[in-house]
Structure 1
Amino acid sequence: MQLDLEGVAARHPAARAGAGPALQGLNLRVASGEQVAVIGPSGAGKTTLLQVMACALPPDSGRLRLDGTDPWALPRAALQRLRGRLLLAPQVPPLPPRQRVVTAVLAGRLPALGTWASLRSLFYPSDIPAAHAALTRFDLADKLFDRVDRLSGGERQRVGLARALVAPATLWLVDEPLSALDPTRSRQAIHSLVQEAADRRITLVATLHQVEVALAQFPRVIGLRDGALAFDLPAAQVTPDHLARLYDQHEAELHGAAPAADQPAQARPAPVVMHCR
């Protein structure tokens, strides 16, 4: 599924009255079958961008097109069918605590099922092998019949990602999927997600705070700051200077960026020394 944003401005649903837009006149194209990481400081508009792309939040101005279609110009039934072709995975997956993992994973198929089939799937999982295969990609096969409330936060995040693998979607929108994962699990989870998307020609847009993972795993990286594009480049062309400009210098170093080459040493913040008495 191809995404086109033309001059899109949008306000976060939870924004205070009078707050400025989270996205400001954004122009962006993501080709069908492309895998893209979106990075940037907190409050840059990353989550709002995914909500706009998911047709969950209409733009205040500008236009969104999915495969050339303006979703907000469609009749309600057609808009619902379009939403069934995409998957939005929030940072905290909405998994019922008493549900079995197999049921939680196969819930990714609900947009393609009728009402009766959807209700039946809650009690009688229809394709256990598919759920097992999806969980295996995220090293969770042994949790197939566990209850969700027995899982750690990181395991729940990986169950949310496994749900994408069984969904009938051609667009995956994934918001901060690694916040509860250690570095090793983070690399494994993102590698599996990107590889599956590439193999299936599924469009993937993922927001990440782990800059090194974004640069290593995604062909294209977008930097977002204050609701506007800071850069849009192949991962191999993103330099420490780009990252230093995207984040303030302190945050850039925390995210693994070297000091910008054009920044003189005397301009760098001096360390703070604490003296104890």
Structure 2
Amino acid sequence: MKIELRSVSGRHPAASTAAAPALQPLELKVEAGEQLAVIGPSGAGKTTLLHLLACALAPAAGSLELDGRDPWRLSSRQRQQLRGQLFLAPQVPPLPPRQRVVTAVLAGRLPRIGLWHALRSLFYPTGIAQADAALARFDLADKLFARVDRLSGGERQRVGLARALLSQARLVLVDEPLSALDPARASQALATLTQWARDSGATLVATLHDVPLALQHFPRIVGLREGRLAFDLPPAAVTPALLAELYAHEQAALEPAPADAAPVAPRPVVMHCR
């Protein structure tokens, strides 16, 4: 799916309408089948960008086109049909705790099947072999019939990614999919996801905090800072100097205070009794 943003700005889904846009006027084009990683410090506008692309959030200004169509100029029914071609994987997958993993993974097909089939699959799942194959790609085949609330945080994230493989979406949007994974699992998960996108021809946009993994697995890196585009480059052109500038404020906040700095007086603790 082709993406084109023209001077698009947007507010974070949780922000009030009076708040300044988290994403400033942004120009971005992504060809169908491309894969790009969006990096940048916390609060840079990465999640807001994904919600705009998922048609979950209308632009505050500018225009967004998906395959040449502005979602917000379509009828509600047409926009819902368009959303059926998208898949958004949030950082914390919305998996019902008492649900079986097989049902959670098969839910990736819901936009493509009818209501009756969806209700029936809650009690008599069909497509178990496909769910098992998707889980196996993330080393989770042994969890096929486990309950979601018996999984670790990292296993839940991988179940969310396995669900994406069954979605047959033309645009896959993944928000920080590695936060609960160890380095080896994170690299394997990204390798699986990007290979699947290449095989299926889907466009893949992922926000990542792990910069080395983004540079290793994605052919295009977009840097956001304070809601603005800092750079849009192939990984070989993303230099340490560019990264230092991109994360300058975040690094400054993490730096220890100088040894000769004056001590900061502790704030008084106020206790309220009920």
TM over 0.5: yes
Shift of 1:25: 0.6
In 2: Cα distance, 1:72 partner to 1:270 partner: 47
* 1:136 equivalent in structure 2: 136
Letter in 2 for 1:154: G
Report SS of the residue matched to 1:135: helix
Cα deviation code 1:110-156 (max 9, x no counterpart): 00011100101111111011001100111101100000000000000
Distance in 1 between residues matched to 2:6 and 2:16, nearest whole Å: 25
Match of 2:162 in 1: 162
2:148·2:156 contact (CA, 8 Å) conserved in 1?
yes
Structure 2: state its 5+ residue gaps.
261-274
Percent identity of paired positions between Structure 1 and Structure 2: 66
TM-aligned CA deviation for residue 249 of structure 1: 7.0
Rounded to whole Å, the distance in 2 between the matches of 1:239 and 1:215 is 11
Please identify, of 241-250 and 193-202, the stretch whose mean Cα deviation from structure 2 is larger.
241-250
The equivalent residue for 2:263 is none
Change (3 A) 1:270 1:186: closer
| Number of the residue aligned with 1:206 | 206
CA distance, structure 2, for counterparts of residue 171 and residue 250 of structure 1 = 31
Counterpart residue number, 1:266: none
Verify the 8 A CA contact 1:84 1:168 in the aligned structure 2: no
1:273, CA displacement in angstroms?
4.1
Partner of 1:258: none
1:14 is matched by which residue type in structure 2? Answer: A
Distance in 2 between residues matched to 1:105 and 1:243, nearest whole Å? 36
Give distance in 2, aligned partners of 1:249 and 1:108.
38
Give matches, 1:256-275, under 5 Å: 272-273=258-259
Alignment-mate amino acid for residue 228 of structure 2: A
Unaligned runs of 5+ in 1: 255-268
Moved over 4 A (4+): none
**Cα distance in 2 for residues equivalent to 1:236 and 1:166:** 32
Give me the TM-score of the superposition, normalised by structure 1: 0.90
Letter in 1 for 2:123: F
| Mean Cα deviation higher: 144-153 or 241-250 | 241-250
Instruction: Flag the 1:86–1:270 CA change in 2: closer, same or farther, 3 A.
Output: closer
Change (3 A) 1:11 1:249: closer
2:41 touches 2:250 (CA, 8 Å); kept in 1? no
1:182/1:55 Cα in 2 relative to 1: closer, same or farther (>3 Å)? same
Change (3 A) 1:126 1:246: same
In the other structure, the counterpart of 1:265 is none
What whole-Å deviation, never above 9, does each CA across 1:186-217 have from its counterpart, x for those lacking one? 10101110111011111000000000000000
Checking the alignment, whether the CA contact within 8 Å between 1:9 and 1:62 is kept in structure 2 is: yes
Alpha-carbon distance in 2 for matches of 1:70, 1:18: 25
The C-alpha deviation readout for 1:205-253, integer Å capped at 9, x for no partner, is 000000000000000000001111000001111100110111117639x
Q: How does 1:89-100 map to 2 (within 5 A)?
A: 89-100=89-100
